[in-house]
Amino acid sequence: MPVVERQDIDHLNAVLTVKVEHSDYASEVKTQLSTLRKRAKLKGFRPGKVPMSMVKKMYGKSVVFEAVNKVLQEEMNTVLDNFDRRILGQPLPFVGDDESPYDFNVNNKEPHVFKYKIGMMPQFELKGYSSETSLTKYDVYVPAETINEEIEKLQQRFGETSSPEEDIQPKDVLKLQLQELEGDAVKEGGVSVETTVAVDLLHENISGQVLAAKQGDVLTVNINELDTKMTDAADIKKLLLKIEDETVTYNEQFQATITEVMRVTPAAVDADLIEKAVPGNTEITDEAGLRTYMENDILKYFKGQSNSLLLAELQRSLLEQNELPLPDAFLKEWLASREEEGKKVDVEAEYDSLAKGLRWSFIRDAIAEKAEIKVEQSDIEESIMNEIKGYFGGSVDPSLLNSMMDKMMEDQEAINRQYEKLINDKVAEAAQSTITLIEERVTQDELNEVIKTYNEKNQEAEKSLDEALVEQVEEIVEAVAVEEEKTAE
């Protein structure tokens, strides 16, 4: 049986020495060589009669290497499974200056000695996870006017369209044939384009003329006054005049011919509108129910945003209060070793954010242990199922749903992302009953402004929540488990 020695360099780094004796693999080598001899074909010898000495010469080194490696991997897996500390990444081969090259000659009976560097998770007492830590939680509400606007949008979306020739109204949309003017005449070779404008977005210098006009009338307009929301010259050029060439210039005055008036008569808020707005609905029967549904739909998104912001603030606070040391040199070497796997790695550029994400994973897991939080396979499956349904707006053929579900469950990266999302959400939820929350009631617009300010202030903050970083952290923490699975196969 191999002999394993552990030397702790410090509380974050260790060296494992594994000594594989000849007796640990000799039987396996003998069996494999005998099998190869039966299959060996060599000119001058009958099948199965090739001398063992020649078989050893032909296959000995590779057979010994595989047998030794098998014993080594099995022993390493056993050691790491029973390790008293959580290790990071994969053990890295360590060869000292005085080490001799490995000799896998079949006649060599000396022990094979392998050394590995190990990086270990720091041991720590969680700080800051108590009522002494206070964070703001934003309680989002939806003003009645927001719901009114959403109802009006639905009425417009499902309203009846018409093209009146007279009596232009503020909510109408116009199709205009625009022709560039030079003085009072249409410019020869000038800009000529058909565009669409909303009457209620016209500048006051134009709107009065338009409201008194009808289809077919010709007006003189300043192109910069056709859409009050377009204040950027580049937008006017590209969106209104549809000019892609940046070198093209034009005069401000245009002749505008009203070629069509488009009007939408708002739909009544009735059962027909509700069915179109919420297909398959069986519970909403009137406008009050529709308003409640829309409010909850808006709140669902913004409450998620609020919780994400709270989690980011919790993460920032706990990272500041728990300055966890890491085996930096080991982790950088581990990152650099990934170049051999065909992955481009800029160690110095990636390390700071990766280290931050790794520290957060330790803190998060400590909270999960305290709160007895677990993410079960069924939780992941339910989350993926809801994600697929949400993508299709809640209505999806069952066979397609099951097919997509099966495909997602075969994608380990997708499963890892769902796990990270769920564990983060559960930790944030559990934390709310432990830390002190200062609730602040805000509208969705006010929350958006808070998030914008936060992001501007913390452009590099909370990178552990980024998908790419989550994958990296997951790879580091779980790399050993992956290697065990490969060995088992």
CB 331 within 8 A of CB 364: no
User: Does residue 469 carry a pLDDT above 50?
Assistant: no
Q: What's the pLDDT band for 460 if we cut at 50, 70, 90?
A: very low
Q: Is 129 part of a structural domain of the chain?
A: no
Asked if residue 169 and residue 139 are part of one domain, the reply reads no
Closest C-alpha among 20, 322, 273 to residue 159? 273
For residue 29, how many C-alpha atoms fall within 13 Å in the half-sphere facing its CB? 27
pLDDT at 478 over 60: no
* Residue 126, domain member (yes or no): no
* Residue 276 placed within a domain: no
* CB contact burial 83-118 (16+ within 10 A = b; e otherwise): eeeebbbbbeeeeeeeeeeeebebeeeeebebbbbb
pLDDT in tens, 135-168: 999 999 999 999 999 999 999 999 999 999 988 9
Number of structural domains the chain divides into: 3
> Is it the case that residue 418 has pLDDT exceeding 60?
yes
Mean residue pLDDT of the chain comes to: 86
Q: Are residues 355 and 302 in the same domain?
A: yes
150 found inside a domain:
no
What was the pLDDT predicted at 341?
59
407 located within any domain: yes
Q: Are residues 323 and 174 in the same domain?
A: no
* Average pLDDT for 239-265: 92
Residue 178 lies inside a defined structural domain of this protein: yes
**334 shares a domain with 252:** no
Q: What percent of the chain has pLDDT over 90?
A: 51
Find, among 379, 376, 384, the residue nearest to 413 by Cα: 384
Of the residues 265, 296, 324, which one is the last residue of a structural domain?
265
Q: Quick one: 186 and 47 in the same domain?
A: no
- Average pLDDT on 13-34 reads 93
Identify whether the C-beta of residue 330 lies closer than 8 Å to the C-beta of residue 10: no
Domain boundary, last residue among 214, 234, 265: 265
Domain boundary among 235, 265, 295: 265
Task: Answer yes or no: do 299 and 371 share one domain.
Answer: yes
pLDDT score for 98: 60
* Largest Cα–Cα separation, the chain: 108
Residue 273: inside a domain:
no
Domain match, 248 and 313 both = no
Reply yes or no on whether the pLDDT at 407 is more than 90: no
In terms of domains, do 365 and 465 share one?
Answer: yes
- Which of the 8 DSSP states describes residue 224? G
| Predicted structure pTM score | 0.66
Residues 255, 401 within the same domain: no
Residue 264 has pLDDT above 50, yes or no: yes
222, two tokens = 């300043």
Give, in order, the Cα–Cα distances in Å from 356 to each of 325, 375, 470.
11, 23, 11
The whole domain housing 208 covers 160-265
| Same domain (yes/no): 73, 179 | no
Instruction: Give the residue ranges of DSSP H helices in 341-438.
Output: 347-370, 377-391, 398-409, 412-431
Tokens for 22?
A: 């000849």
| 254 close to 176: Cβ distance less than 8 angstroms | no
Dist CA 310 CA 440 (whole Å): 12
Is 80 exceeded by the pLDDT of residue 416?
yes
User: Does residue 99 register a pLDDT over 80?
Assistant: no
